C-alpha cells in the first residue's frame, strides 16, 4: 500500500457529492497529519463554501452539465470542458498528487480526465444505483470505480475489473454517531419508549410528502405510535397556517417541525422513516438497519431516486410509493401496515442492515492507497 501525502479531490454541486470526499480527507489526515489536499470544484457549487471552512485549499473551474438532447448548449459545454481540462491540468501538474478522487458532479469530468491523461492514479465514486452521465464518461479512463449499490455494475459492464464495492462514507459516520437515549423527550417532548415514525422530504422538504402527512394528521390520534413530520424550513410556516386555518388540532403524539439538524442522532431513536430516496439518505438507513417507506423524487436526473428505491425494495429492505400514487390514505395504510405488524418491521430492518456497509471510508482509503502504490 502506498502512503498518500498529496491528494486532489473533486466533487460538486450538492452535499451528497462533497461529504464523501471530506470523509476520505479526514481519515487520510488522521493517519497522516502532513497530508496536503487540493479540492477542485466550481464557484457556484456548495463546495465553494464548505471546503475552505475545512482548511483545504480550494480552486475553481467553470463547467456545466451536458443536455441529454441535441442542443447548442452542448457545443458550449464541450468548449468549456476542453478549457476546464486545460486549467485542471495546470493545477494538477503544479500540485503533483499521489492520487485523484472524484465523488460526483459535472466538475469531476475535466478534473479526472486531466489527471488520467497525465497518468495520475484516479478513482471515481458513484453513490447512486444508476450511474450519472459524468461517471459513465469517466469509467473508461480512471483506475478504479467505487460503487455503493451492486445494481449499478451494469452501467459499468465493460469495466468490471475496475469496480469495487465501497459503500458511502456517510454510513460509517452515522453508525459512529453516539446514541442519545432521551432524545425524543428532550428534543420533541415525545415518549422515549413509544415506537416513532419520522416523515421528511430532505433538507428542503418535499411538498407532496408534507401534504400527504398533514392531511392525515388527525388520523394519527390514539395510535400506538408517535409521528414526527419535518417539513423543511421554507414550507413550515405555510403548513402551520394551513393546519390552523382548517382548525386541525395536532394530536399529542404528533410533532410538526421545520428542520432537524442532528438527523443521525434522531435516526437512532426512530423505528420507521418515510422519505425521499437520495443516495446519502439510503446509505444512512441501510447502515442503521432502519425500515423505510420511500417516495422517490420524480424531478431528478435519470430518475435515479426511483432506481435507488427499487434497489432496496428488491431486497425487501423498504417499501416504495410513487409520488403520483401518493395520497393521505395510501400513506397511512403503509405506515399502519408496518407499525402494527412488528414482525414485518423487524424483517425489513434486518434486510436493510444486510445491505449496509459500515466501513466505507476505510474501503475507499484502501483502494486509493493501492492505486497510489
For 162, the grid coordinates are 475496475
Helix (H) / strand (E) containing 288:
helix 279-288
325 labelled ligand-binding? no
Homologous superfamily in CATH for domain 6-168+359-372: Glycogen Phosphorylase B; (3.40.50.2000)
Cβ atoms within 10 Å, residue 299: 9
Q: What is the predicted pLDDT for the residue at 64?
A: 63
- Helices assigned H by DSSP within 206-245: 207-215, 233-245
Distance CA 282, CA 279 (A): 5
SS3 226: strand
Task: Assess contact for 45 and 12: CB atoms under 8 A.
Answer: yes
For 219, the grid coordinates are 388520523
Residue 37 φ/ψ, nearest 5 degrees: -130, 145
What DSSP designation does 106 have? Answer: T
Q: What is the predicted pLDDT for the residue at 302?
A: 80
305 labelled ligand-binding? yes
Distance CA 269, CA 297 (A): 25
Q: Specify whether the backbone of 302 is left (phi greater than 0), alpha (psi in -120 to 50) or beta.
A: left
Q: Reading across the β-sheet that carries 99-102, which strands appear in turn?
A: 57-60, 36-41, 6-10, 99-102, 122-126, 144-147, 163-165
Q: What is the predicted pLDDT for the residue at 234?
A: 87
In the chain, residues under CATH classification 3.40.50.2000 are 6-168+359-372, 174-355
Q: Please give the chain's pLDDT, 373 residues, in tens.
A: 679 999 999 998 888 899 999 999 999 999 999 999 999 999 988 899 999 999 999 999 988 655 555 455 655 667 778 899 999 999 999 999 999 999 999 999 999 999 999 999 999 999 999 999 999 999 999 999 999 999 999 999 999 999 999 999 999 999 999 999 999 999 999 999 999 999 999 777 899 999 999 999 999 998 999 999 999 988 999 999 988 887 777 899 999 999 999 999 999 999 999 999 999 999 999 999 999 999 999 998 788 999 999 999 999 999 999 999 998 789 999 999 999 987 889 999 999 999 999 999 999 999 999 999 8
The whole-angstrom distance between residue 310's C-alpha and the CA centroid of its chain comes to: 16
CATH number assigned to the domain covering 174-355: 3.40.50.2000
Distance CA 361, CA 23 (A): 7
For 227, the grid coordinates are 409521528
Is the model's pTM score more than 0.85?
Answer: yes
Task: Assess contact for 305 and 297: CB atoms under 8 A.
Answer: yes
3-state helix, strand, coil in the chain (%, to 5): 50, 15, 35
128 labelled ligand-binding? yes
Amino acid at each position: 500500500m502506498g502512503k498518500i501525502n498529496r491528494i486532489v479531490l473533486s466533487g460538486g454541486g450538492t452535499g451528497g457529492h462533497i461529504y464523501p470526499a471530506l470523509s476520505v480527507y479526514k481519515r487520510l489526515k488522521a493517519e497522516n497529519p502532513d497530508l496536503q489536499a487540493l479540492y477542485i470544484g466550481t464557484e457556484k457549487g456548495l463546495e465553494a463554501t464548505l471546503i475552505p471552512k475545512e482548511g483545504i485549499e480550494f480552486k475553481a473551474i467553470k463547467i456545466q452539465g451536458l443536455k441529454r438532447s441535441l442542443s447548442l448548449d452542448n457545443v458550449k459545454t464541450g468548449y468549456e470542458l476542453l478549457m476546464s481540462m486545460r486549467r485542471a491540468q495546470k493545477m494538477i501538474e503544479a500540485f503533483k498528487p499521489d492520487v485523484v478522487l472524484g465523488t460526483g458532479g459535472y466538475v469531476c469530468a475535466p478534473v479526472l480526465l486531466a489527471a488520467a491523461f497525465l497518468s495520475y492514479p484516479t478513482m471515481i465514486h458513484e453513490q447512486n444505483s444508476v450511474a450519472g452521465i459524468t461517471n459513465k464518461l469517466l469509467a473508461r479512463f480512471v483506475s478504479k470505480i467505487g460503487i455503493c449499490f451492486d445494481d449499478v455494475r451494469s452501467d459499468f459492464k465493460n469495466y468490471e475489473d475496475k469496480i469495487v464495492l465501497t459503500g458511502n462514507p456517510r454510513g460509517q459516520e452515522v453508525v459512529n454517531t453516539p446514541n442519545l437515549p432521551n432524545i425524543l423527550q428532550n428534543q420533541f417532548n415525545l415518549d422515549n419508549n413509544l415506537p416513532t415514525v419520522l416523515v421528511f422530504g430532505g433538507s428542503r422538504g418535499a411538498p407532496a410528502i408534507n401534504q400527504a402527512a398533514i392531511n392525515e394528521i388527525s388520523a394519527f390520534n390514539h395510535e400506538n405510535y408517535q409521528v414526527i413530520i419535518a417539513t423543511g424550513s421554507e414550507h413550515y410556516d405555510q403548513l402551520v397556517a394551513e393546519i390552523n386555518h382548517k382548525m386541525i388540532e395536532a394530536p399529542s403524539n404528533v410533532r410538526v417541525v421545520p428542520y432537524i439538524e442532528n438527523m443521525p442522532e434522531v435516526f437512532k431513536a426512530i423505528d420507521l422513516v418515510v422519505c425521499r430516496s437520495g443516495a446519502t439518505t439510503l446509505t444512512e438507513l441501510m447502515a442503521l438497519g432502519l425500515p423505510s417507506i420511500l417516495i422517490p423524487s420524480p424531478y431528478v436526473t435519470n430518475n435515479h431516486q426511483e432506481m435507488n428505491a427499487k434497489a432496496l425494495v428488491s431486497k425487501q429492505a423498504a417499501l416504495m410509493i410513487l409520488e403520483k400514487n401518493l395520497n393521505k390514505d395510501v400513506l397511512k395504510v403503509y405506515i399502519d401496515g408496518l407499525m402494527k405488524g412488528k414482525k414485518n418491521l423487524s424483517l425489513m430492518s434486518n434486510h436493510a442492515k444486510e445491505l449496509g456497509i459500515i466501513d466505507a471510508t476505510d474501503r475507499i482509503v484502501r483502494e486509493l492507497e493501492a492505486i497510489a502504490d
